Structure 1
Amino acid sequence: MTAHSRNTPQFYLTAPSPCPYLKGQFERKVFTHLVGDDAAQLNDLLTHGGFRRSQTIAYRPACETCRACVSVRVRVDAFEWTKAFRRNRALNADLVGLDRDATPNSEQYSLFRAYLDSRHSDGGMADMTVLDYATMVEDSHVRTRLVEYRRRGPDTAVNGRGAGPLYAVALVDHLSDGLSLVYSFYEPEHRDRGLGTHVILDHVQRARALGLPYLYLGYWVEGSAKMDYKRRFRPQEHLGPAGWELKDG
């Protein structure tokens, strides 16, 4: 029997299941566990290779007949601030994001629940309980943070904290060369604010302030309307057979 080190990743392949993005397709994923002392370093390496993290699992598509899922990262130093993006920033200038430990609470879950019920009631996360949410947030062996967005308050200039109810939340991994948006959700009643876009734009600025060159957005899926928004954030690189390549359009 061959002995494997606890720090040597072992990779596994899931069985085929219906694709959540493209009708009529079936997805398979290759995955490994992110545990132990080398979890953060492994997460960095795998993210550069097109993997995404979910709790203590790193995964990437390994579909037999489809290659539509493409890993996307944004170059923050040359980010293109379009008129639409500048309007979004102005519209949400009354919000402030507080960076904090990845600790779940009931207020976050209430917002998470409202977001799922409004935007993804038929998705794979629709039945997540408060315990499932807590696990999603805190079950991590890598450097993970939460950013909570609230309205600016009278003491914001002093303590950096907002006031009032939550407007949005982002779960973010800190990598050696960038930030990786693991998951974000927001108040569905404020559709006019474009809060999903605001969270991404805010993290473009956060990555740049930290001296990090990239913001990782996960997968863009050609042919999937729900993933098409990622194309708007430019310049961006796509991971292909030859590595990360700058895309013009």
Structure 2
Amino acid sequence: MRSDRVRLFQTLPHACGYFPDRTAQNLVIDPAAPHLDQLYGPALERGFRRAGGHLYFPYCSSCRACTPCRIDVERFQPSRSQRRCLKRNADLQVVESMAGYNSERHALYERYLRQRHPGGGMDEADASDFRRFLTAPWSPTLFLELRQGPRLLGVAVTDLSLHGLSAVYTFFDPDETERGLGTFAILQQVELARRRGIPWIYLGFWIEGHPKMDYKRHFRPLQIRTIDGWVDMP
């Protein structure tokens, strides 16, 4: 992604989604660039993330807290608590489905946002919001549906490339917290990557000490991207 081939834009400062007293800015790859599907894998390698049709990287003037992280699929072994999570959810079926909107998924998405992220600006998401945030016409996306019989309990929005699998977003039944469906979804994405010979699972950004991001460090070996490239988290 050399600068003479792909244009990068910097957003205006906006409210930070993680620290209420900070502002944030992103670098965004030109959304009108041709062949974004071909740029996606190399962008993941460089720490970028997809939100809707945009590939972005946090680039804040006074903060570098957001650290790209990824799971080494070949070396990953579930911890004791993760094995218990697999056992708790042994009654679920994991269905690889085409990405896209339907009323069943949207109803679950709305319930999840209203109970888990009230007042966050997304909790009144309509059909167009669903499509705009979770999918993109150029993105190689599938939905891993977590089902108990006919009942939809969760959806792991998953992007695939030869360079890696990106865990874009997971939403699930907020009344099923004891199952640990977020953890279960990542474990299923690990298995999907293994079946397809994909070496990395990109989990977006890890923020040291942040309660919403702390879960990521439990998927070891976890790599983080530094100025020297990707290194194992200590």
> TM-score with structure 2 length normalisation?
0.93
**Residue 36 of structure 1: CA displacement?**
6.1
**Residue 178 of structure 1: CA displacement?**
1.9
Question: How many equivalent pairs are there?
Answer: 231
Q: Runs of 5+ in structure 2 lacking a partner?
A: none
**Residue 140 of structure 1: CA displacement?**
2.9
Q: Is the 8 A contact 1:55 1:140 kept in 2?
A: no
Give runs of aligned pairs for residues 7-156 of structure 1, distance below 5 A. Answer: 8-34=5-31, 38-151=35-148
| The 10-residue stretch of structure 1 (127-136 or 237-246) with the greater mean CA deviation from structure 2 | 127-136
| Residue in structure 2 matching 1:183, options 157, 166, 169 | 169
Q: Is the 8 A contact 2:142 2:159 kept in 1?
A: yes
Q: CA RMSD in A?
A: 1.6
Provide the residue aligned with 1:156 in structure 2. Answer: none
Asked if residue 166 in structure 1 is aligned to residue 140 in structure 2, the reply is no
Q: Is the 8 A contact 2:69 2:204 kept in 1?
A: yes
Provide the residue aligned with 1:154 in structure 2. Answer: none
**Residue 37 of structure 1: CA displacement?**
5.2
- Cα distance in 2 for residues equivalent to 1:92 and 1:146: 18
**Residue 168 of structure 1: CA displacement?**
0.3
Q: Is the 8 A contact 1:30 1:61 kept in 2?
A: yes
Residues 50, 138 of structure 1: CA spacing in aligned structure 2 closer, same or farther, 3 A cutoff?
closer
**Residue 147 of structure 1: CA displacement?**
1.2
Asked if residue 201 in structure 1 is aligned to residue 187 in structure 2, the reply is yes
Asked if residue 192 in structure 1 is aligned to residue 189 in structure 2, the reply is no
Tell which structure's C-alpha radius of gyration is larger: 1
Q: Runs of 5+ in structure 1 lacking a partner?
A: 1-6, 152-162
> TM-score with structure 1 length normalisation?
0.88
Identical amino acids, percent of aligned pairs? 35
Q: Is the 8 A contact 1:116 1:125 kept in 2?
A: yes
3-state SS of the aligned residue for 1:226? coil
Runs of 4+ in 1 over 6 A off after TM superposition: none
- Cα distance in 2 for residues equivalent to 1:50 and 1:178: 12
Asked if residue 231 in structure 1 is aligned to residue 217 in structure 2, the reply is yes
Provide the residue aligned with 1:159 in structure 2. Answer: none
Letter of the structure 1 residue corresponding to residue 220 of structure 2: R
